[in-house]
Chain A
Amino acid sequence: MFNTLNIEYDSPAVDKSALSLIASVLVAGFLLAVTITIVLSDKGHNTGLAPLITQNIELSGVTNPVTAVLLNFRAYDTLLEIAVLLVVVLAILPTRDHHAPFFKRIVVSKKNLVLSALQRWIAPAVVVFAGYLLWAGAHQPGGAFQAGALLAGASVLMFQSDTYQVNYTSLMARVLLVLSLVVFITIGTALIYFEGSLLTYPLAFSGLLILLIETCATVSITLALASLYSSFIVSENTSVTDNKHRTIK
């Protein structure tokens, strides 16, 4: 399974050793049969926590139950989830030389007209729509992660048309990356002082606080996803010392 990790392009699709082939088909099928019987013998709770959530929805400060669960009832999970994202960003962080500015616009000799035009038209729309998504999260499906993903998509477009370059190891980038986690933790711990236990939003401000957390989350997620993308397009970004990096021409 994982023992021989080959990365050549032309390697055969399937690990031919017959033994593993037969065994895995057998077990996968068996697994399928077993789980299906579970599903069919479905005498468990069929409503889950729905009634409980609907009772408490108005206490949560947002109307959309999913956002309520995500950012109020199980806010701790979301906090750790952001930490996961931060972990991966840290692991992958494309390291440019330390002194490059956070955000630099580079003039490209051979401009790709179509892309730059597309980018000029769509980027503002995307930003507006992301803002809407963020705001709508409170009462309809939406929220920080969706807005962040959208903005990251816009930034990919930007990088593709290669007019901007972001140095992720600059102080500004690092602050932005860490922003959502910092805000979330400060709010959480502050609430201990005010409300007695971690992450218990006061009834009046819960909506506002959730919105604040959502916005910061969006910023961080955008930058995080952008850095994930740019780490692939930048070759040999393995280590800091090697600050010679090839920009895609």
Chain B
Amino acid sequence: MTSALLYAIAGLALFAIGFFGVVVASHVMRKILALNVMGVGIFMFLIACAKRNPLVVDPLPHAMVLTGIVIAVAGTALALNLMVRIHHIDQSSQEQSK
């Protein structure tokens, strides 16, 4: 059981937990966080794939991880922004209703 395999399994575990979180979480914030956890799981798995041979490090998964992170950031930012705007609308409508 080389360390790479261990990391790979950890990555997959994170993915599964993330998915469980997405399905079960009720609040939107939790769902977004769960999505990020899934992303991190996949990145962990990718990095584990890069180092299967002790002597050689495959840079391609690293590049994929880097791009993945940027995209994850973008997605999460958009999701959070939408959530905040919905929250503002709810608040302002509550103020009007009071």
Contact = CB atoms under 8 A, between A and B. Distances in A.
Give yes or no for direct A-B contact (beta carbon below 8 Å): yes
Interface of A: 1-2, 4-7, 11-15, 20-21, 24-25, 27-29, 31-32, 35-36, 39-40, 42, 46-51, 53-54, 65-66, 68-70, 74, 77-78, 81, 84-85, 87-88, 91-92, 145, 228, 231-232, 235-236, 238
Contacts of A232: 80-81, 84
A245 B59 CA distance: 46
B58 to A, nearest CB: 4
19 contacts: A4-B26, A12-B26, A13-B26, A14-B25, A20-B23, A20-B24, A29-B16, A31-B15, A35-B15, A39-B9, A46-B53, A48-B49, A50-B59, A53-B60, A54-B56, A77-B63, A84-B70, A228-B81, A232-B84
Contact of B52 (A6, A36, A46, A54): A46
Contact of B12 (A32, A42, A50, A85): A32
Given A49-B60, A65-B57, 17 more contacts: A1-B22, A7-B28, A28-B17, A28-B20, A31-B15, A47-B53, A48-B58, A53-B59, A53-B60, A66-B66, A69-B62, A84-B71, A84-B74, A85-B70, A145-B66, A145-B70, A232-B84
- State the main secondary structure of chain B at its contact with A: helix
B81 A91 contact: yes
A39 B12 CA distance: 9
Contact of B62 (A6, A7, A66, A228): A66
> What bracket does the count of chain B residues touching chain A fall in?
35 or more
Interface in B66-81: 66-67, 69-71, 74-75, 77-78, 80-81
A228 B90 CA distance: 22
A29 B13 CA distance: 9
Given A2-B31, A13-B26, A92 B19 contact: no
B56 A51 contact: yes
B90 A28 contact: no
Given A7-B87, A39-B12, A235-B88, A21 B60 contact: no
Contacts of A51: 56
A82 to B, nearest CB: 8
A47 B52 contact: yes
A74 B19 CA distance: 30
Given A92-B81, A236-B88, A36 B12 contact: yes
B25 A15 contact: yes
Contacts of A54: 56
A103 B90 CA distance: 32
B39 interface: no
Contacts of A2: 31
Nearest to A40: B5
Contacts of A25: 20
A218 to B, nearest CB: 13
A68 B58 CA distance: 12
Contact of A69 (B59, B83, B86): B59
A65 B59 contact: yes
Given A32-B16, A66-B63, A24 B24 contact: yes
Q: Which 8 A-B pairs have the closest CB atoms?
A: A65-B59, A48-B58, A24-B23, A69-B63, A28-B20, A88-B74, A50-B58, A35-B12
